[in-house]
Structure 1
């Protein structure tokens, strides 16, 4: 049980994040050349590719001749603007993120103690891996479809529009613009989905800790007071630590979820607007790519809302788990201790995005409704 890898679901993704400049290296604080290269690696990688590419996309949108041409670029420009928020947030809090991951994986206070807990942990970690590896593969497939669908068009067209400072609609120069598009967009797509996965994993992991607390409370349903009293005190201490982790998690994921939810309604709106002005017969590849992009974006909004809802649900279930203990047989001091714990549980556990809304399934439904409202308004304005 002590050898159980508690963050097995994201161990590979943490390594991937280090190589893509999104996560801190373990030995980057040294004074040797290799440590210095590790410190400047994120800026060398993302400044000429991610940030320059996003700036060129916005330049193309702002210098477009009409609104329809701008709408062809805005759907992706807004997506990448949310990515900028995520990257800056992780860079700014890279020490906190590194310490948070270390505590989740190595702190002995969160060690699993029974076979039931270990089996639950392994099963849920595998389930998380299946969901997010499918999401990552699907997102990369959408990007690949966009890269190669332009080759079936009669005219020269870029997979994802951006401002090119030279005339690229020629056989000699087209592949320079296309190659930069592919390299920059691949890095942006990979960074986006990896950061999404880590934000959701933080909420998933804390929800799992609340489930472990529930299991330990329910395991006391037949325990005598002599055994239950010290175990209850240990559970209360664990719960206090998990509440602290929840507040830390909120600080780490709040900016990313807030930006994602705020921009997602506009992203889906402009994507649907693009589909309305793009015939399937004229541009079958780009039409299917945009349709898949809308599906991937919907999943991208749903996942943090789902895991935020799971965290709140399992934290709220602790009240019922207390009643499964053998509290009727306990002495007055132990029952008073349980009563104090019940008062403590009256404070709801919720992860908020800024000060605006709680991360959960209701905000997902509201975002989809807002996207439809913006789309209907955009159609009226365009007419």
Structure 2
């Protein structure tokens, strides 16, 4: 027995957090002043952090160690802001995407299909929770490390290398609080954008798996007298669902692909530089554990996109096999042609792209890690020679 299931409930947590920040588009805004004020406030904090670090890079351009340190944090802030701005630009597309998820082909499902969707989404939520926890650890270490670092002879350190038009040591606690607060805001918004993307990709995977199961079971349990009529009706529903899923992927790609592209490009540099800095610091220092957590956080961020992108590709690739394992041989020639059309259409798997350049699958993850290691090996060789 089929019933209506609200798919937006699977990413309600991410939607709620982004709404608090004034970024998730709403058809009706109840508290407009608070909604838009939160958005402007987060933009001001985030952009002022990037501007401060870029200015510091220019001031310290002759100091290679400081420059490398600053560029690492710049390459972390830039993709976050690109994702934030891109999400803001694509607000209308997000509304279209959510409206598309309310189509009957998606929401009119059986109790068994609902259970399968909730189970798959629960697995994705566990991974995003691990990612959030890792980000909390990184932010905590960002805040703690400057307070307990006793090795600096230049006064107290700050969480981030930033330029200020005054003597930082005279206003250390105020500056420290400003930087830590900005890091918390950036990490909070960034993890919610990543989590929303992953949850939507996983939701698409659920729809492909549901379609695969329907195709395998199409026409089963019906009498031979009415088989063709029933099978053709079920096939038409499957075709509508397949077309709706491909349109959903197009909307998701429009919404998130540009931000993911910048994330991948900057991720190569950040992973490389973080690994290099881990090599030159004391293994027993808290800075090493700070860099180690940051290193795994960057890999986990890219891994989530590539892993679920790979799952999406594999789930869409199983459509043709599902048609083959159905009872197509019991149908008329006309109905068999419908199966053949679906199989031909599904020969091209559905793959999400990042900025029309990178496919979201595990091969891209390996390419990023290989590129990062290549640059790391060059830096290591230069460092060893010196």
Structure 2 length normalisation: TM-score? Answer: 0.91
Cα deviation per residue 1:75-105 (whole Å; 9 max; x = unaligned)? 111011111110110010012113312432x
**Match of residue 224 from structure 2:** none
Counterpart Cα distance in 2 of 1:46 and 1:25: 19
**Match of residue 20 from structure 2:** 19
Residues 80-159 of structure 1 aligned to structure 2 (within 5 Å): 80-104=77-101, 106-154=102-150, 155=152, 156-159=156-159
Whether the aligned pair in 1 keeps the contact of 2:105 and 2:237 (CA below 8 Å) is no
Specify the SS of the correspondent of 1:355: coil
Counterpart Cα distance in 2 of 1:16 and 1:257: 20
- Match status 1:238 vs 2:241: yes
Residues 250-265 of structure 1 aligned to structure 2 (within 5 Å): 250-265=253-268
Question: 1:325 deviation in Å?
Answer: 1.6
Residues 162-181 of structure 1 aligned to structure 2 (within 5 Å): 162-170=162-170, 173-181=171-179
Structure 1: stretches of 5+ with no match in the other structure: none
- The count of corresponding residues between Structure 1 and Structure 2 is 373
**Match of residue 203 from structure 2:** 205
Q: Which deviates the most, 213-222 or 88-97?
A: 213-222
Question: 1:318 deviation in Å?
Answer: 0.3
Whether the aligned pair in 1 keeps the contact of 2:117 and 2:203 (CA below 8 Å) is no
Runs of 4+ off more than 4 Å: none
Question: 1:41 deviation in Å?
Answer: 3.5
**Match of residue 44 from structure 1:** 41
Aligned residue among 57, 66, 69 for 1:69: 66
**Match of residue 364 from structure 2:** 363
Whether the aligned pair in 2 keeps the contact of 1:71 and 1:273 (CA below 8 Å) is no
Question: 1:184 deviation in Å?
Answer: 0.6
Cα deviation per residue 1:148-202 (whole Å; 9 max; x = unaligned)? 12222124111222222221234xx110110001111111111111111111222
Specify the SS of the correspondent of 2:168: coil
Question: 1:5 deviation in Å?
Answer: 3.7
Counterpart Cα distance in 2 of 1:362 and 1:330: 40
Q: What RMSD over aligned residues (CA atoms) do the two structures have, in Å?
A: 1.8
- Match status 1:326 vs 2:324: no
**Match of residue 293 from structure 1:** 294
Question: 1:37 deviation in Å?
Answer: 4.8
Counterpart Cα distance in 2 of 1:254 and 1:101: 17
Cα deviation per residue 1:181-224 (whole Å; 9 max; x = unaligned)? 11111111111111111112221111111111011111226343
Counterpart Cα distance in 2 of 1:14 and 1:322: 36
Cα deviation per residue 1:306-333 (whole Å; 9 max; x = unaligned)? 1111111100000000012211111111
Whether the aligned pair in 1 keeps the contact of 2:20 and 2:35 (CA below 8 Å) is no
Whether the aligned pair in 2 keeps the contact of 1:213 and 1:235 (CA below 8 Å) is yes
Cα deviation per residue 1:54-74 (whole Å; 9 max; x = unaligned)? 111122123213111111222
**Match of residue 191 from structure 2:** 193
Counterpart Cα distance in 2 of 1:115 and 1:14: 25
The structure-2 alpha-carbon separation of the partners of 1:39 and 1:177, relative to structure 1 and needing over 3 Å to count, comes to: closer
**Match of residue 270 from structure 1:** 273
Specify the SS of the correspondent of 1:25: coil
Counterpart Cα distance in 1 of 2:228 and 2:325: 14
Specify the SS of the correspondent of 1:113: strand
**Match of residue 160 from structure 1:** 160
- Match status 1:54 vs 2:50: yes
Structure 1 length normalisation: TM-score? Answer: 0.92
Whether the aligned pair in 2 keeps the contact of 1:221 and 1:324 (CA below 8 Å) is no
Question: 1:36 deviation in Å?
Answer: 4.9
Whether the aligned pair in 2 keeps the contact of 1:159 and 1:178 (CA below 8 Å) is yes
Counterpart Cα distance in 2 of 1:218 and 1:251: 31
The structure-2 alpha-carbon separation of the partners of 1:351 and 1:335, relative to structure 1 and needing over 3 Å to count, comes to: same
Counterpart Cα distance in 1 of 2:122 and 2:349: 29
Counterpart Cα distance in 1 of 2:82 and 2:116: 34
**Match of residue 227 from structure 1:** 230
Structure 2: stretches of 5+ with no match in the other structure: 222-226
Counterpart Cα distance in 2 of 1:2 and 1:52: 49
Counterpart Cα distance in 1 of 2:176 and 2:4: 48
Counterpart Cα distance in 1 of 2:116 and 2:336: 30
